């Protein structure tokens, strides 16, 4: 399944559009339980690989759903934000190398492009001199580290939430969301997070969204070595009576 998607914004931002992107990214993430999500987050933070055998089956009962909905913000706060705050310095020291796909996306932005890095952590992508990138993150410690980098270059940084962003809507040439969306603990919140990324973009703005792969090496979901990584992804344009248009999209596996 895809873990990264490169989208060119061509139509108004809707929940459906955001949901489509999430399902392109990895449909199983949308249906995963909070417990599994958190376990994955914590394993990743400790540098451990995903451990599928220990994953609990997703719980689908209505009571669970209500519980998950109510507690999701608290769970993220307790298990994601506080963890990142505690491990910020160690985490940052291990996260200095740009991921190649992100690197090539950012290198190919034209001079003077304005972009945002939502959930940008220690600001490791604030290093491309031809663009102005404003990074944001919830973590105070990671934002401080990012600020040191941003202050002496043509970039900037602020503290902010991935669902309620302070970025001006429709003004950014590009946006990146790298290993962020999977931290949101319910489908509704992940949709809101993807929507927030899309909303920053100007009409032909492009974004790159990366999530963790549930299974990186197994081909259970149908992908195998040698398959074409470029696909056309249908985008439902709600403003044109649900007409499906093809938008340019690239999936990386």
Partner 1 sequence: MKFLTTNFVQCAVQSCARSSDAFPLKYSECQLVQKEIDFDPEFIAHMLQKLDWDALVEVAAELGNSSLPPQKPTIEDAQAAENEQLLRDLHSLLLETQIEQGVMTCKNCGHLYHIKNFIPNFLLPPHLA
Binding site for partner 1 (CB under 8 A): 73, 111-114, 129-130, 132, 134, 136, 138, 143-144, 147, 151-154, 156-161, 163-169, 171-173, 199
Pairwise CA distance, residues 172 & 135, whole Å: 12
237: enclosing H helix or E strand: strand 230-237
Q: Which is nearer to partner 1, 52 or 82 (CB)?
A: 82
DSSP assignment letter at 62: H
Query: Is residue 135 a contact partner of residue 160, using CB atoms and an 8 Å limit?
Result: no
- Taking the complex as a whole, how short is the minimal distance between the CB of residue 242 and partner 1, in angstroms? 24
- Taking the complex as a whole, how short is the minimal distance between the CB of residue 201 and partner 1, in angstroms? 13
Q: Which is nearer to partner 1, 149 or 221 (CB)?
A: 149
- Taking the complex as a whole, how short is the minimal distance between the CB of residue 2 and partner 1, in angstroms? 29
- Taking the complex as a whole, how short is the minimal distance between the CB of residue 224 and partner 1, in angstroms? 42
Q: Which is nearer to partner 1, 5 or 146 (CB)?
A: 146
Residue 63 is encoded by which pair of tokens?
């009571």
Concatenating the DSSP letter of every residue in 9-36 gives --S---HHHHHHHHHHHHHHHHT--HHH
Q: How far is CA 93 from CA 96, 168, 209, in A?
A: 6, 31, 23
- Taking the complex as a whole, how short is the minimal distance between the CB of residue 84 and partner 1, in angstroms? 14
Q: Which is nearer to partner 1, 66 or 151 (CB)?
A: 151
3-state secondary structure of 59: coil
Q: Which is nearer to partner 1, 113 or 181 (CB)?
A: 113
Pairwise CA distance, residues 96 & 99, whole Å: 9
């Amino acid at each position: 399944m895809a873990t990264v998607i490169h989208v060119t914004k061509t139509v108004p931002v809707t929940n459906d559009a955001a949901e489509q992107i999430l399902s392109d990214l990895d449909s199983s993430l949308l249906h995963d339980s909070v417990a599994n999500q958190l376990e994955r987050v914590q394993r990743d933070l400790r540098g451990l690989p995903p451990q599928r055998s220990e994953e609990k089956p997703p719980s689908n009962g209505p009571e669970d759903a209500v519980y998950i909905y109510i507690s999701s913000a608290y769970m993220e706060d307790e298990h994601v934000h506080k963890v990142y705050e505690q491990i910020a310095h160690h985490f940052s020291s291990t996260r200095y190398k740009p991921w190649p796909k992100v690197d090539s996306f950012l290198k190919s932005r034209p001079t003077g492009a304005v972009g945002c890095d939502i959930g940008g952590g220690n600001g490791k992508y604030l290093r491309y001199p031809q663009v102005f990138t404003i990074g944001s993150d919830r973590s105070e410690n990671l934002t401080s580290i990012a600020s040191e980098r941003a202050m002496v270059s043509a970039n900037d940084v602020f503290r902010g939430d991935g669902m309620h962003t302070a970025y001006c809507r429709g003004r950014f040439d590009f946006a990146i969301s790298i290993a962020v969306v999977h931290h949101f603990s319910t489908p509704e919140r992940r949709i809101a997070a993807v929507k927030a990324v899309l909303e920053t973009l100007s009409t032909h703005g492009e974004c790159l969204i990366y999530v963790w792969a549930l299974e990186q090496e197994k081909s259970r979901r149908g992908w195998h070595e040698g398959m074409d990584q470029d696909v056309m992804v249908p985008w439902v344009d709600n403003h044109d009576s649900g007409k499906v248009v093809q938008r340019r999209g690239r999936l990386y596996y």
